[in-house]
Amino acid sequence: MSVPGVGPITALAFIAAIENVERFRRTRDIGAYLGLTEKRYQSAETDVGVGISKQGDAMARHYLYEAANVLLTTVKKRFGLRDWGLKLMRKVGPKRARVAVARKLAVLMGRMWKDGTHFEAPVAS
């Protein structure tokens, strides 16, 4: 809950969905486990990205998406993840930016859980 935008319900849904963070060799696999990666349609010469895969726990994915939305819209503190998300929002649109920030939040929360650390936002320049 020390991550901006992440409240007790989001943290609880994340912990319930992951159960044991040690089963992930790399924490970046958590985003894919929760379905926050791009789904691909590939056939012959066609290769199209069609939204997110929506695999894994729907409730945890929903709460992470909402936490990303709060992080990008209501949190006023400046730090790297928020600035990156706002830049991405201008470039690819708000929905895709929220999914990308939600994926990064999942990876960040997984790393914090694995290491037993708290979130300390470095000030963005």
Residue 124 lies in a domain: no
Range of the domain at 80: 8-115
Q: Which residue has the higher pLDDT, 125 or 110?
A: 110
Buried b / exposed e over 8-33, threshold 16 CB at 10 Å, is eebbebbeebbeebeebeebeebbbb
Residue 92 lies in a domain: yes
Residue 121 lies in a domain: no
| Distant-in-sequence, close-in-space partners of 122: CB < 8 Å, separation ≥ 6 | 79, 80
Q: Which residue has the higher pLDDT, 46 or 32?
A: 32
- Whole-number pLDDT of residue 72: 93
- Whole-number pLDDT of residue 110: 92
Residue 58 lies in a domain: yes
Backbone angles phi, psi at 40, to 5 degrees: -115, 145
Q: Count of domains in the chain?
A: 1
Out of 45-54, 67-76, 81-90, 96-105, pick the least confident. 45-54
- Whole-number pLDDT of residue 28: 87
Residue 57 lies in a domain: yes
